[in-house]
Amino acid sequence: AQSVAQPEDQVNVAEGNPLTVKCTYSVSGNPYLFWYVQYPNRGLQFLLKYITGDNLVKGSYGFEAEFNKSQTSFHLKKPSALVSDSALYFCAVRDGYNFNKFYFGSGTKLNVKP
Amino acid sequence: SQTIHQWPATLVQPVGSPLSLECTVEGTSNPNLYWYRQAAGRGLQLLFYSVGIGQISSEVPQNLSASRPQDRQFILSSKKLLLSDSGFYLCAWSVFSRQYNEQFFGPGTRLTVL
């Protein structure tokens, strides 16, 4: 079965500190992994993706994610959090057989305190 | 550039009434189109996806149906709404490609069934 797990419902971090939002996945074949951000009452916005190549992927708004094949993880990171980063973050994986389908994690609420 | 529209933005409907939500995409051809439902501001549930006109794949048996009458138009419908149909409905599109599969989401429709 193909799935994505985001083990933390909520992550709290102080502004200026580094942040990590965790994601682990299970997929057949090569993993195609994505991070999205959602602000209240809005659609999701694409942040970054891992297809192949470097394990450290850089994306929008200073975010990056580290792909770890042995741990089947794709954690989202940012060196210095901003209050405006407070939002709901989703990890997603593409189906290994049906390239038209995606599986999303349950979401992690990031709270950045001033 | 590509844009995706959804309407209405909010909708309050009585139980047993019909539903029609519309999604249109501009600036791209032959996109994959998706309907998701997000309950309680959390995880996304894939409802339907379409890889072409008239082609609909249903992921979850339920009270809803989808249609794609034109290349860039995707409609979500119900003949009789249930209380459990309440939620935030998101339309998304992606390019049909093995390499570039990130999804782009519309602003969403907040449906409340009373």
How many angstroms separate the CA atoms of B71 and B32, rounded?
9
**Per-residue CA distances from B2 to A40, A49, A108, B57 (Å):** 22, 19, 28, 24
| pLDDT cut 70: percent of chain A above it | 100
Is residue B101 scored above 70 in pLDDT? yes
Average pLDDT over all residues of chain A: 94
Between vectors from CA A82 to CA B3 and to CA B94, what angle results, nearest 5°? Answer: 25
CB-CB under 8 Å, B96 with A100? yes
Between vectors from CA B107 to CA B97 and to CA B92, what angle results, nearest 5°? Answer: 20
For residue B113, give the nearest of B83, B80, B87 by alpha carbon: B83
How many angstroms separate the CA atoms of B19 and B61, rounded?
17
- The one-character DSSP state at B28 is -
Is residue B82 scored above 80 in pLDDT? yes
Does A113 contact B at CB distance below 8 Å?
A: no
- Most confident segment among A13-27, A46-60, B46-60, B95-109: A13-27
Q: What was the pLDDT predicted at B23?
A: 97
Per DSSP, the residues of B38-87 read E-TT--EEEEEEEEETTEEEE-S-SS-EEEEEETTEEEEEESS--GGG-E
Per DSSP, the residues of A22-87 read --EEE-SSS--EEEEEE-TTS-EEEEEEE-SS-SEEE-GGG-EEEEETTTTEEEEEESS--GGG-E
Q: What was the pLDDT predicted at A4?
A: 94
Does B1 contact A at CB distance below 8 Å?
A: no
> Residue B45 CB: number of other CB atoms within 10 A?
15
CB-based contacts of A98: which residues, under 8 Å, 6+ apart?
A: none
For residue A91, give the nearest of A12, A42, A20 by alpha carbon: A20
Q: Which residues of chain B make contact with A43, given a CB cutoff of 8 A?
A: 6, 90, 92, 105-108
Q: Which residues of chain B make contact with A36, given a CB cutoff of 8 A?
A: 103, 105
Q: What was the pLDDT predicted at A18?
A: 98
- Mean pLDDT for B26-38 is 93
Q: What was the pLDDT predicted at B61?
A: 66
Please give the residue of chain A at the shortest CA–CA distance from B44: A104
Q: Which one is predicted more confidently, B96 or B18?
A: B18
Per-residue pLDDT of B41-81, as tens digits, reads 678 999 999 999 999 999 886 789 999 999 999 999 999 99
Return the structure tokens found at A60: 């929008």
Q: What was the pLDDT predicted at B99?
A: 67
- For residue B98, what pLDDT band results from cuts at 50, 70 and 90? low
| pLDDT cut 90: percent of chain B above it | 77
Match 């980063």 to its residue by tokens.
Answer: A85
- Mean pLDDT for A83-109 is 92
Average pLDDT over all residues of chain B: 92
CB-CB under 8 Å, A104 with B51? no
- Mean pLDDT for A92-101 is 86
Does A59 contact B at CB distance below 8 Å?
A: no
Q: What was the pLDDT predicted at A2?
A: 82
